[in-house]
Every structure is written in structure tokens, then in C-alpha cells.
Structure 1
């Protein structure tokens, strides 16, 4: 198999399979311009990235030749090879990031086309403590950055008190899916202000100019554990320049409330006090 020349060195594409991890032979893909787009590698290969040297089994590229995403492992999960089997091969990697030097097991790293770090995606169950604009936050799934290195978003690993313009909100999204760390439930603007947050433990109240109050709280749905049990649905609150938005159900409408003339405040919402099983979730 002929190696592929990249600005990161010669890469040897995958050309063999096995009965466990690599049951399929994945092709090399190219952009329409002819520039290589993704390369599954025959063997794990150390690659020098702006964040440090990372072992790779799969690499994708922007059209300008810079790395888009790098995966240390690329095994195929199936009945013969589980996530636990793959995780046993994952070794911690030390990275130079906008939030300092971190060491973690990573599913992938994402980069902008200018080579700056876009996101870190962690292995399931692994966490990192991140110095965020609202303080130290234990983070799961991942963290993403803006091109200037400021934190764009992260996924709190547990309910975490976060300061917002409405007061303290317990940030946590139990429904967060860890496909990658590019998009997360706790989002910041360039000034470090919270612009989006998911919560199951906070109620938001809006007071209109005429004194009327409107309260928003996380809703409940039938639990995956049992038809007789309920679980809380994360409520998503957005803080925009001109309005606050609230969505109490991911399939429901978004309510928009102008910031001008309105007063917003947050307070604890504890549905489990009336239903002790409301906070339980099944692993699926």
C-alpha cells in the first residue's frame, strides 16, 4: 500500500482487516478538489498536532490540508468487540489546550482550518475539571473552543451552580449525547457570559412590566425504566442580547421573552421531593 503524503508526514492507509476490531476495510476519502479528506490508518501512528503528539488510527482533513479531526482509536464495536474492549486500549494523552495542560483519554480532537483546537471529546465516564468563565467545572463528554481560544461550550458532569443574568442555575443535561465535544449544553459568548444552559433543578420566573409573573419549570415524561415512573426533562434556557428563550420540552415550542422591561430570577426546582423516582434514569 502506497503511503499518502500530508503536511503531517507519510500516512499508511488501512489495507488489512481482522476478526475483532477492524472487520471492515474503510476507504481513503478525498475532497472534490482532490485533497485527501480522511485516512483510516493501518496502524496507530503518532501525529504532531498543535495540541501535542497524538496517536491516531483515523484522521480527517480540511481542504487546506490541516487536520479537521483525529481519532486515537478506530475499532468497530460489535458483538465480538465491545466499548469496554476498545476503552481498554485507550491511553491518556497530554495536550496543550487553551485551558492549560490536560491529560485525558480522548475519543477525538477537533481543529479549525487555521489549526487552532476546536474541541476535545472524552471517553464515556471520563471527566476533566475545566477552568471556565464561571469557575471550575467538572466536565464530561467534552469542551469546545472558539478560534481565539475562549471556551465556547462544555458539558457539566453533574448538577453545577452557574451564575447567569437570572441568578444561579443548576446546569446539567442528563440527556446529553457524547457523539463529540463540539456542541454542549452550557454555552458562553466571547465575553464569558452564559448564553445557553440546560437544567433539571431550576425554575425560571419572568416578571413583566405590568407585574404579571410567568414561571417555567422542567417537565416530566414517562421513564425508560417503567411506565409507572416519571423522569425530569431538561429545560433549556437561552440568554440573548434582546430576549430570553425557554424550552421546557425538547419537542415543544420555544418561548421568547423580551429582556427589556422584564425581570428574571431563578430558584431551585426539586421535583424529586414529590416523586422520589423522578430523578432516576435507566442506562440504555
Structure 2
């Protein structure tokens, strides 16, 4: 179920977690999602593991298992929770253990963990309910870490892509200024997560960890990923095809490749005191 809050239009004050239709639309092509969505910085994975008291990790909204496999590769024991059965089945085929449920409805059955992580997905969880449940299942000193990729297109491409969306799908919101200032666009989401952690108690002071990196895309690589973004998963096939054709033409005109700048941000806090009901 992972995605970016608001994807290209950036997050707003709307309650993402209540929009299940969008939240569970990403499994329509789980193989493409897993193939094309970017992985997380190794430094982020290593920092979460180092800051946690043990190897047991709960991955909330694990999707196809992108983050879970990265944690597994460094020796963690990972249990995934994922509401979309199609995404969960894909993750299981790679050897992961996944239970199908929303995090709010999931039954921990007395199990506890050293870390609760969520990549591109915590905005689909009720922030207060999620923080409270994380507090209940984390061992003392355990860590909650919710993280997202904020991506920034080169300015000329941002303008050109906005024109494509406005022409092909004028009803789809595309805030160009938010695309050009991605961290500002995401700050409302980060603040909401941190505020919920303070509200439920049982956590130390929330922090933001940031990792800057870049990735180069060919035309075909970007067009392969584009249908996994929230705006396009909801489009009729003819509208989606028009967007892909027009974006492809934009990329052809600049030589068929570009470099995307990413900042991966984790909102994180450690569990204080003894575990118990909240």
C-alpha cells in the first residue's frame, strides 16, 4: 500500500487514511509497483536497525515488501501488515511473512517488536490510532519510524509535466509550486505524525532524519513507474495512455533521460517506559 502523500500534488490537510479507495488502488499491478518504485537509502535502514533494541520489526503497510526485504537483508526479522491482499501475496512470494489487515484493525495477539516501520504508507494510517497501537506493540526502547521519499523534478520538467496533466486530466490536482518545493509540501504530514506521537505519550521527542540522494531515469524507466502513482492508478485506461504518451514526448525532447533529486525523510521516536495499553 505504500505511496507518496498526494503524490505529485503533495499532501494537504485532508485525511488520507480515510480514503480507502485510493489507499488500496496500488495493488492493481503489484509487479510493476515492486519493479519500479525506488528503494530506501541504506543509511536509513542501518540507522533504524542500530537505534532499535533488537531485530524484530513490524512493517506497517508493507506493500510488495520493498522496505521489508531491505531490513531482512541486514539481519532483521520482519512481519508485514498490509491491507491489500494482492500486494501481500506478492510480498509473500519473496519469502516475507505478511498478515492482511489495516494497522488499525490488525490483532497483534500479544506480540511485541523492537521497531515499527512504515515506508510511504503511514499517511494511510489514522495518526493517533496508529501511534497508540505502535506504543502498545513496541518493546521499551523500541522505535517507530515512518518515512517517505520527497522527490523534486528538474524545474523545466516540472513545468512540462504540469502542462501534460492539466491538458490530459484537468480534474486531477497538480500543484506546481508544491512539486517545486517538495519538503514544504510534506511538512504538514511530518508535523501531523509528530503531533500524534506527543499526544498519545509513551514516546521520546520525535525527530526527523533526512537523506539526500539522486537517481537517473531513462524515458522507459520513468514511464514504467508513472502508472503506479496515485493520480494515474485512478484514471481510465485511455486517459492514462494519453498521459504516458505526452510525458514520453516531453522526455524525448530533452534527450530521453533526466536525474531526479530525492530527500527521504523519517519521522521517528523511541518508546519510553514499559509496554502496555494506551
Higher RCO structure (Cα 8 Å, ≥6 apart)? 2
**Shared topology, TM-score over 0.5?**
no
Q: Normalising by structure 2, what TM-score?
A: 0.22
User: Whose strand proportion is higher, 1 or 2?
Assistant: 1
Question: What TM-score comes out, normalization by structure 1 length?
Answer: 0.21
Structure exhibiting the larger radius of gyration computed from Cα positions: 1
Q: Which has the higher helix share?
A: 2
